[in-house]
């Protein structure tokens, strides 16, 4: 096992070095006193007694002037050099002389080259081009929650990921054993951002969607807006508690239990006493069942002993009384009728079974004080809004310890079988040896002992262990598109991070969920009062000015109080629109796809479900493409405020080219498009 752990650790380090090798060194700083420092993705040191740095990790304090020094504020630096590389080849470099007041702010040649470059399959890190306002957030020393808000293209997601890399660098010992959780809106988004942290040498990060926060579930279906709003409300906590209490029932008629020597009965008074004791124990439902069972068993055995021992057994004969009780307890435990009666009054419940039965019954919904809009057909699939309710029920119901014990025994049996096979192989090898006077492996170790040692050492990687464990707690959590999360979603996330260390990324203007956030204060104050900091990003690095002008018109229509981010560049290509008939839509989409296939970069078609090859705007949140074609904007807008937010998202995905196909006249808010 020591060998396995060492191999795993070395393999992890090798992967880190392999990934960092691409663009390993991207800059150099020359100080006014003549010292030169090279800046890179990771730190490298001379392997000698001095242990001098060959390459400064971009997160090191000494590397910060690379991002923050300007002509007017050189921070002790004379020159900043940026390398442009491919693999290990330096293609070119640019120099920026510092210390000249007329130099103003930091030069943007490298930044413009990066934002103008064609997009690939995933998000790229910005380690070589971090801007001063971004660097301030990345290195912000705040122990609680940091909210990063910004409009489309402001780089809030990539800043949050670089902040995670910085925290892992500065707080390695505290964070590494528990890891970091990154929550994003959908699998496509997580795939898009998944390369950023590994490219910065960090791998102890778990990526999940809100629909995957409960192990074993990968939910993507969404509720209708009204059902989503209801399920996302904190009122559902009381509904779920009431639904659990509703399953803790009293018998309408006494339940008779026929034992060998006596018939006993469970009446409502007995069950009520047992129920009160179980509830007052403070244990979750499934664990409190033991209390309920103990009280009922005590009452029944007391009554049975009194009847069986009438005339010959008194309480003074304590030993006799307890021996008879022990016999009766065993008899009750083996009695199927008694087990069925207890199950009817205090059943073992799973989150899935309780919630499904609640949704399927108007009677149970009424009893729990739930809105009847939650009624759904039997066997309906889970939705993303159900996941926080299922997670809440894990705590309300607790564990079914008997089922867990049975599962543990099955797993142990598998390990013993595997260990026995290993020992058999060792014995076979020893039998083939010439030396007759040797010890066999089985002389020193039995299969059960070997299995026990194996179980004690969980050899899975941190990411695998964390993703499979509902009770795993993280040292830091990143929440992207946080404006979409409901109050119930936030309860799940707060349970996952008791230390309340979060980076929250969002844009309230892009909220589409009726259960989502309307203010950060309302979301965070209940959990971290006075312990959250707000930072905003105002520069749009993704969307060119020509396209942002079009999107700004839509933004002004549905969120006039929100200022659109200012684009850092223009692309020189005017966004266009084209009116088509129903019969022409498919051909126009094909034409766009064909044209873009001949260009470098990525493209997407966004539109309603019946548009061939189109994806909904909600699936493109957080993504970026060189070219975007938006189809039927009026139909997207028809979904009210939610639709306006979706159209705004659709228009701001493009980094170079934007086209709009429409069958009906363009909405009044869409201006600045050149007709084709």
* DSSP sequence for 124-186: PP-TTT--HHHHHHHT---SSEEEEEE-TTS-HHHHHHHHHHHHHHHTHHHHTTT-EEEE-SS
Main-chain phi, psi angles of 635, to 5 degrees: -75, -35
Q: Which residue has the tokens 């402001």?
A: 154
Beta strands at 89-97 and 532-537: parallel, antiparallel or unpaired: unpaired
Tokens in use for 249? 């029932």
Residues 270 and 299: beta-carbon distance below 8 Å: yes
Query: Hey, which bits of 341-471 come out as E strands?
Result: none
Backbone φ/ψ region at 632: left (φ over 0), alpha (ψ -120 to 50), beta: left
Spatial strand order in the sheet of 145-150: 205-208, 180-183, 476-479, 502-506, 145-150, 532-537
Task: Compute the distance between CA of residue 344 and CA of residue 328 in angstroms, rounded to an integer.
Answer: 21
Residues 287 and 398: beta-carbon distance below 8 Å: yes
At 38, which helix (H) or strand (E)? strand 36-40
Q: Which residue has the tokens 């409960």?
A: 214
**Is 150 annotated among the ligand-binding residues?**
yes
Main-chain phi, psi angles of 568, to 5 degrees: -85, -10
Task: Compute the distance between CA of residue 437 and CA of residue 440 in angstroms, rounded to an integer.
Answer: 10
In DSSP terms, 182 is beta-bridged to: 207, 478
Task: Compute the distance between CA of residue 124 and CA of residue 192 in angstroms, rounded to an integer.
Answer: 9
Q: Which residue has the tokens 């009677």?
A: 363
Task: Compute the distance between CA of residue 259 and CA of residue 338 in angstroms, rounded to an integer.
Answer: 10
Task: Compute the distance between CA of residue 374 and CA of residue 297 in angstroms, rounded to an integer.
Answer: 38
Tokens in use for 292? 């309920």
Beta strands at 625-631 and 603-606: parallel, antiparallel or unpaired: parallel
Cβ atoms within 10 Å of 58's Cβ, excluding its own: 27
Tokens in use for 294? 């103990």
Per-residue exposure over 217-241, b if at least 16 CB sit within 10 Å of its own CB, e if not = eebeeebeeebbbbbbbeebbebbb
Task: Compute the distance between CA of residue 626 and CA of residue 631 in angstroms, rounded to an integer.
Answer: 17
Query: Hey, which bits of 308-356 come out as E strands?
Result: none
Cβ atoms within 10 Å of 130's Cβ, excluding its own: 24
Cβ atoms within 10 Å of 336's Cβ, excluding its own: 7
Main-chain phi, psi angles of 40, to 5 degrees: -150, -175
**Three-state secondary structure readout of 30-57:** EECCCCEEEEECCCEECCCCCCCEEEEE
Q: Which residue has the tokens 């808010």?
A: 669
Residues 212 and 238: beta-carbon distance below 8 Å: no
Q: Which residue has the tokens 């970069």?
A: 601
**Is 575 annotated among the ligand-binding residues?**
no
Cβ atoms within 10 Å of 334's Cβ, excluding its own: 9
At 609, which helix (H) or strand (E)? none
**Is 153 annotated among the ligand-binding residues?**
yes
Task: Compute the distance between CA of residue 91 and CA of residue 87 in angstroms, rounded to an integer.
Answer: 10
N-to-C CA span, the chain: 68
Binding residues for ATP: 150-157
Binding site membership: which residues? 150-157
């Amino acid at each position: 096992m020591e060998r396995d752990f060492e191999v795993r650790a070395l393999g992890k380090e090798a992967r880190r070095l392999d990934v960092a090798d691409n663009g390993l060194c991207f800059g150099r700083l020359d100080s006014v006193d003549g010292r030169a420092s090279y800046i890179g993705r990771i730190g490298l040191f001379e392997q000698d007694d001095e242990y001098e740095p060959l390459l400064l990790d971009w997160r090191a304090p000494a590397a910060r002037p690379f991002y923050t020094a300007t002509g007017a504020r050189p921070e002790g630096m004379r020159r900043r050099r940026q390398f442009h590389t491919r693999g290990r080849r330096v293609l070119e470099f640019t120099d920026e002389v510092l210390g000249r007041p007329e130099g103003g702010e930091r030069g943007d040649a490298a930044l413009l080259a990066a934002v103008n470059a064609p997009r690939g399959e995933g998000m790229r890190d910005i380690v070589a081009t971090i801007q001063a306002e971004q660097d301030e957030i990345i290195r912000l020393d705040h122990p609680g929650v940091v909210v990063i808000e910004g409009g489309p293209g402001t780089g809030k997601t990539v800043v949050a990921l670089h902040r995670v890399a910085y925290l892992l660098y500065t707080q390695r010992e505290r964070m590494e054993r528990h890891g970091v959780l990154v929550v994003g809106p959908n699998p496509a988004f997580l795939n898009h951002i998944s390369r950023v942290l590994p490219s910065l040498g960090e791998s102890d990060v778990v990526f999940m969607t809100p629909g995957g926060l409960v192990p074993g579930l990968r939910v993507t279906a969404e509720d209708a807006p009204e059902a989503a709003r209801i399920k996302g409300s904190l009122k559902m906590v009381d509904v779920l508690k009431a639904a659990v209490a509703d399953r803790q029932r009293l018998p309408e008629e006494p339940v008779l239990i026929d034992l060998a020597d006596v018939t006993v009965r469970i009446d409502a008074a007995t069950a009520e006493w047992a129920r009160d004791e179980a509830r007052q124990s403070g244990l979750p439902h499934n664990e409190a069942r033991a209390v309920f069972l103990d009280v009922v068993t005590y009452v029944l055995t007391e009554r049975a002993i009194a009847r069986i021992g009438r005339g010959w057994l008194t309480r003074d004969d304590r030993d006799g009384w307890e021996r008879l009780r022990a016999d009766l307890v065993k008899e009750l435990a083996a009695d199927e009728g008694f087990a069925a009666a207890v199950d009817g009054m205090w059943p073992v419940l799973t989150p899935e079974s309780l919630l499904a039965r609640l949704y399927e019954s108007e009677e149970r919904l009424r009893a729990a004080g739930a809105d009847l809009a939650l009624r759904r057909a039997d066997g309906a699939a889970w939705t993303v809004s159900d996941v926080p309710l299922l997670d809440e029920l894990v705590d309300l119901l607790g564990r079914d310890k008997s089922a867990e014990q049975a599962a543990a025994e099955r797993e142990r049996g598998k390990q013993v079988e595997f260990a026995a096979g290993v020992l058999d192989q060792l014995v076979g090898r020893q039998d083939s040896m010439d030396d007759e006077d040797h010890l066999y492996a089985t002389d020193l170790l039995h299969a059960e002992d070997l299995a026990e040692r194996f179980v004690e050492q969980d050899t899975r990687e941190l990411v695998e262990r964390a993703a499979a464990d509902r009770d795993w707690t993280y040292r830091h959590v990143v929440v992207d598109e946080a404006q979409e999360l409901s109050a119930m979603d936030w309860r799940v996330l707060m349970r996952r991070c008791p230390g309340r260390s979060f980076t929250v990324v969002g844009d309230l203007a892009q909220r589409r969920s009726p259960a989502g956030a309307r203010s950060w204060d309302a979301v965070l104050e209940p959990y971290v009062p006075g312990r959250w900091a707000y930072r905003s990003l105002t520069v749009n690095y993704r969307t060119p000015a020509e396209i942002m002008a079009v999107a700004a018109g839509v933004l002004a229509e549905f969120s006039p109080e929100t200022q659109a981010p200012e684009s850092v560049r223009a692309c020189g290509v005017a966004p266009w629109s084209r009116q088509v008939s129903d019969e022409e839509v498919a051909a126009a989409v094909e034409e766009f796809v064909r044209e873009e296939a001949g260009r470098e970069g990525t493209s997407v078609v966004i539109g309603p479900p019946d548009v061939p090859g189109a994806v909904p705007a909600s699936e493109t949140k957080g993504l970026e493409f060189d070219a975007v074609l938006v189809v039927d904007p009026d139909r997207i807008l028809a979904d009210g405020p939610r639709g306006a937010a979706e159209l705004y998202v659709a228009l701001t995905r493009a980094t170079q080219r934007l086209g709009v196909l429409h069958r009906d006249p363009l909405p009044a808010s869409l201006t600045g498009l050149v007709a084709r």
